[in-house]
Structure 1
Amino acid sequence: MEKLASNKSLISNFKGFTLLEMLMVLSIMSVMLLLIVPINNNNLEKVQSTKFIEQLEYDILMIQNLSTTADDSFSIRFYNDRYSILQGMNPAFATRNYPPGFKIDRKNYDSIKFNKNGSIINPRTIDIIVGEKKYLLVFPLGKGRFYISEG
């Protein structure tokens, strides 16, 4: 009988969370989640633009190398919303769409071509505008390698 009485006293002393306390914790957590999501979206856009610029750099290096080894000519042609990698007069074998907020200022030339020696045809600087940032894709005169700098 004493054991039963001691069990009842344990049950009556047990205090759990009330419904009001649980609702308060859930509301605080939901506000925190709402604040975290926009921060991740900004980081995602930065990562997308960085990866796109890296991909463009690799594609330019690829057509420079292919121009020196293959019989056909290779080029990258820029459009308003994408760029394509072309081989001679054939249809594009690769097309890359620009991420949101991306713009490439072509300045009279809409393609990049290399001659058989690996030198750029029409050396120039191409402006890449990503939101408020500006990058310069610089092709120096001669066989030197191009580079990308923040402008």
Structure 2
Amino acid sequence: MNRPPHNKGYTLIEMMIVLLILSSVTAIVVSSFQTAYSAKQTSHFLEQLQDDLYYTQAVAISRGETTSLTIYPENHEYVVYGKNKKLLIRRTFPSHIVFKGGTLGYKVVYLANGNVQKPGTLFINTNFASYKVVVQLGKGRFYVAKL
């Protein structure tokens, strides 16, 4: 009896090549998603920080009391305090975001009239870019700029 060769399947080498190609493509796609996710986290953090600075100023004006936003870089968090160190907001931020205290230090204080107590600059470094937060003298104006 003559039996034909079994040509119905793939060889082990062919399967390994296909799996190697698929795993390489998957690794590339996953790493690009992680990069995009970190960039989105940074963007969201900067927006949240701006909103919280506006909130800190609004509370100072509306309640007629000194309020502050204090950054604790070693704990990866910042806190908004009202009168007598009353906790208003506590937020954490991702570990890839690093604060560098500039002339402002790690604290922004708004007086009862909405003016900032001390103007200055605060630097923020991420995996992708560096930013500076500039708090200007008078009326508590500030802006965030990419370096």
TM-score by length of 2: 0.79
In 2: Cα distance, 1:51 partner to 1:91 partner: 26
The answer to whether 1:124 aligns with 2:120 is: yes
The answer to whether 1:100 aligns with 2:84 is: no
* Corresponding position of 2:62: 69
In 2: Cα distance, 1:25 partner to 1:149 partner: 47
How far apart are 1:65 and its partner, in Å?
1.0
- In structure 2, do the counterparts of structure 1 residues 122 and 83 end up closer, same or farther at CA, with 3 Å as the change threshold? same
The answer to whether 1:32 aligns with 2:25 is: yes
SS at match of 1:126: strand
* Corresponding position of 2:9: 18
How far apart are 1:118 and its partner, in Å?
1.3
CA contact (8 A) 1:67 1:115 kept: yes
Q: How many residues are treated as equivalent by the alignment?
A: 136
* Corresponding position of 2:137: 141
Structure 2 unaligned regions, length at least 5: 1-6
TM-score by length of 1: 0.77
- In structure 2, do the counterparts of structure 1 residues 109 and 26 end up closer, same or farther at CA, with 3 Å as the change threshold? closer
CA contact (8 A) 2:97 2:125 kept: yes
Percent of pairs with identical residues: 23
RMSD between aligned residues:
2.3
Give the greater-gyration-radius structure (CA).
1
Q: What are the residue-to-residue correspondences of 1:70-89 with 2, within 5 Å?
A: 70-80=63-73, 81-89=76-84
CA contact (8 A) 2:106 2:122 kept: no
In 2: Cα distance, 1:63 partner to 1:143 partner: 13
In 2: Cα distance, 1:27 partner to 1:136 partner: 44
Runs of 4+ in 1 over 4 A off after TM superposition: 24-27
